[in-house]
Amino acid sequence: MQAEQHQEEEEEEEGEGGGGGGGSEPEGTFRKSPFQLTVEDVYDMSYVLGRELHKIGSEPRAEVPARVAQVQFKVVSVLEMLEALVNDSSLTVEALRMERDSLKREVEELREQGSRGTAEQVSLGPNKMVVDLTDANRPRFTLQELREVLQERNQLKAQLMVAQEELQCYKSGYMSQKQDPVELIRKEPTVGSASGSGSEEKTIIKRLFGFKRPR
């Protein structure tokens, strides 16, 4: 019904505008799909509606209702186009919003990976450590080396202790007696085996130095 009316109206328009070849073109914009409309079409519609309204004012009274109906029809079709466009744009907005959010998340993830990536590149694994080769205080000796140094230190310290004790003996003039009371005490019960005293002394030293070799 509407389409028929539309058709009629158009014919009328064409009939009326007889001279102007360009007259039919603005009318056609009302039939366009709302999604193909351009700004130009909107101006055309505006022109057509303005012309119709003008006609209402200038035509005989009896024709006014018919004119109004025609304008009403045009206005309704414009509103329908607007409705379609609004519907479509709100859908588009929603789709864009979702896309924006997912892109945001993606960016965040990538940023995170990026910052982790720089750390991962150097740390290689959970139990690995990074060594700055330009750092003078970087760890560089093995546990075994430290063990050996410590053992050597301990042995030297033991030797130093022995030397210090002997020095103390010399200083106190104790050595002039060529015997120390400790040794005398030890010898007492083993009078018979005096020859063993030398080796006995050695075993004391051995014992003093009897540091355990760490496994």
The footprint of another protein (CB under 8 A) covers: 143, 146-147, 150-151, 154-155, 157-159, 161-162, 165-166, 168-169, 172, 174-175, 180-183, 185-186, 188-193, 196, 198, 200-215
Rounded to a whole number of angstroms, the minimum distance from the CB of residue 158 to another protein is 7
Of 88 and 165, the one with the shorter C-beta distance to another protein is: 165
Of 114 and 198, the one with the shorter C-beta distance to another protein is: 198
- What are the angstrom distances between the C-alpha of 155 and each of 148, 187, 209? 11, 28, 7
Rounded to a whole number of angstroms, the minimum distance from the CB of residue 208 to another protein is 7
Map tokens 């740390």 to a residue. Answer: 123
Of 15 and 139, the one with the shorter C-beta distance to another protein is: 139
Rounded to a whole number of angstroms, the minimum distance from the CB of residue 143 to another protein is 7
Say which residues have a Cβ less than 8 Å from residue 27's Cβ, sequence separation at least 6.
Answer: 10, 13, 14, 48
Rounded to a whole number of angstroms, the minimum distance from the CB of residue 132 to another protein is 19
Quote the radius of gyration of the chain (alpha carbons, Å).
Answer: 55
Contact 126, 182 (CB under 8 A): no
Of 92 and 164, the one with the shorter C-beta distance to another protein is: 164
Of 75 and 208, the one with the shorter C-beta distance to another protein is: 208
Rounded to a whole number of angstroms, the minimum distance from the CB of residue 213 to another protein is 6
CA 186 to CA 188: how far, in whole Å? 6
Report the helix count and the strand count for the chain, using DSSP H and E.
7, 0
Contact 61, 87 (CB under 8 A): no
Of 61 and 206, the one with the shorter C-beta distance to another protein is: 206
**φ and ψ of 162, to 5 deg:** -60, -45
Rounded to a whole number of angstroms, the minimum distance from the CB of residue 139 to another protein is 10
Contacts 24+ apart (CB under 8 A), 155-162: 155/209, 155/211, 158/208, 158/209, 158/211, 159/209, 161/208, 162/205, 162/208
